[in-house]
Chains A and B, each alone.
Chain A
Amino acid sequence: MITAAFEYHRPSDLAGALSVLEEHGDDARVIAGGHSLIPMMKLRMAEVPHLIDLQDIAGLKGITIEGGMVTIGAMTTQHELINNEALLSATPIIHEAALQIADPQVRYMGTIGGNVANGDPANDMPGLMQCLNANFTLEGPDGTRSVKAREFYEAAYMTELEDGEILTQITFSAVNAGYAYEKQKRKIGDYATAACGVLITKDGDKVATASIAMTNLSDVPVLSEAAGAALVGTSCDAAAIKAAVAAALEDIDPTEDNRGPVEFKMHVAGIIISRAIARAWSRA
């Protein structure tokens, strides 16, 4: 498989990357780990006359946790997320979810920035970032802005990211919550048939807050506020979970593909959501 020809750029800082983007407009695109982009280029679903490799930009790497705020550089790989002890104790749901992405080789290369910027509804990080209510920092020719993960996704492969912008970091506050990321896939290395991230905080023996987000069940990740609301104030018993699942299923719109027909996906989603809620509650 041979991709279309392109010119390769490898700037050493963000300003350099932004200026190549500005110079070539639509003809330029950044490459992070390349594990979504290169397969698309091989299939000629993407042609990128100017490819800008971000690997030398030190400022895009690393994880910092300060005053309860977690900041993750866009070029941090899934492998690095999994192996970061501080992140594991601050936000264990990332560890649990990242281990369910792709396979070991892909995780050494795939970055969190590429995963959230890609806009593929099958990527796991976007739903997870909505569950965590993360913010994405975007830098472009006109400066820096911040967009909530919950407002970033417009349609499959359509996001708030403007031409000329680079996603530089992801921030969210570390919550001390019960957590779970459940994913049904056909085999290791497969995208989700259905996946769901849940964070639950407790007040006494009742649910204080609940955040429930789903992956690959619509053309964008879906945060179901109604499902969260159905749990708040309950003791997360079977009836409450049933109500939350019903509310979540109202918010999704899966399509038929090689992972199955719509009825099957709704069925699998129901099971995955209810398992995720039960497990998050057991850890709350």
Chain B
Amino acid sequence: MTNQIVKMTVNGEKKEILAEPRELLIYVLREKLGLSGAHVGCETSHCGACTVEIDGKSVKSCTMFAVQAEGAKITTIEGLGTPDNLHVLQENFKEHHGLQCGYCTPGMITRAHRLLQENPNPTEEDVRFGISGNICRCTGYQNIVKSILSAAAELNAAKEAAQ
């Protein structure tokens, strides 16, 4: 089948790429746009390592064709922070040992980011339920939950200070 042009806004930048309809979004992000932050863990919609944000939804980008994202606004882990200017979530994962091998981390953090947009004051249970689509094989989740709760507190404190 022929390639087609897909236009989308990725991390605030307008992108136009050529893709076959059957190309999965995760591969277009990683291989055509060079955004290798989102990982391929299972490729079968189970692990959440490929999670990105699309128009305000957390989506497993291995379970979406790139053509379906035509016109969409996408945020990947690269859009949240940079090595010199880490996002509060990234800072807290670092601080609280929210990662070991780091394979699940980009998906975990993009998911946590959306969760905090929708629920800025989550309980521990809310966090656990909210990240239940993301599998981590290293940490046992304890420190991931701690990192997210601590990031939420920090974000809320900053918001209050600004008011």
Contacts and interface: CB of A to CB of B under 8 A. Distances in A.
Interface of A: 1-8, 10, 31, 34-35, 38-39, 42, 51, 53, 55, 79, 102-106, 108-109, 188-189
A105 B21 contact: no
A5 B22 contact: yes
A103 B133 contact: yes
B140 to A, nearest CB: 15
B23 to A, nearest CB: 8
Contact of B58 (A39, A53, A55, A108): A108
Contacts, number: 75
Interface residues of B, number: 28
19 contacts: A1-B44, A4-B22, A6-B21, A6-B22, A8-B67, A10-B70, A34-B65, A38-B45, A38-B63, A38-B65, A51-B21, A53-B68, A103-B48, A104-B131, A105-B58, A106-B133, A188-B132, A188-B133, A189-B46
B45 A39 contact: yes
B132 A109 contact: no
A189 B132 contact: yes
Which of B21, B64, B70 has the largest count of A CB atoms less than 10 A from its CB?
Answer: B21
Which of B46, B59, B68, B111 has the largest count of A CB atoms less than 10 A from its CB?
Answer: B68
Nearest to A4: B22
Contacts of A103: 48, 132-133
Contacts of A5: 1, 20-22
A33 to B, nearest CB: 9
B67 A109 contact: no
Contacts of A51: 21
A16 to B, nearest CB: 16
Interface string B21-33: 1100000000000
B65 A8 contact: yes
A53 B60 CA distance: 18
Interface of B: 1, 4, 20-22, 43-46, 48, 51, 57-60, 63-65, 67-68, 70, 111, 115, 129-133
A8 B115 CA distance: 32
B63 A109 contact: yes
A79 B21 contact: no
Contacts of A4: 22
B21 A8 contact: yes
A34 B64 contact: yes
B51 A105 contact: yes
Nearest to A37: B63
A104 B1 contact: no
Given A35-B45, A103-B133, A105-B111, A7 B21 contact: yes
A109 B57 contact: yes
A1 B133 CA distance: 20
Given A2-B22, A3-B22, A6-B22, A79 B57 contact: yes
Nearest to A99: B129
A39 B1 contact: no
A104 B111 contact: yes
A39 B58 CA distance: 18
B58 A6 contact: no
B74 to A, nearest CB: 14
B64 to A, nearest CB: 6
A109 B52 CA distance: 13
Contact of A104 (B20, B43, B130): B130
Contacts of A55: 68
Contacts of A108: 57-59
B106 to A, nearest CB: 14
Contacts of A6: 1, 21-22
Which of B20, B51, B63 has the largest count of A CB atoms less than 10 A from its CB?
Answer: B63
Nearest to B27: A2
Contacts of B46: 189
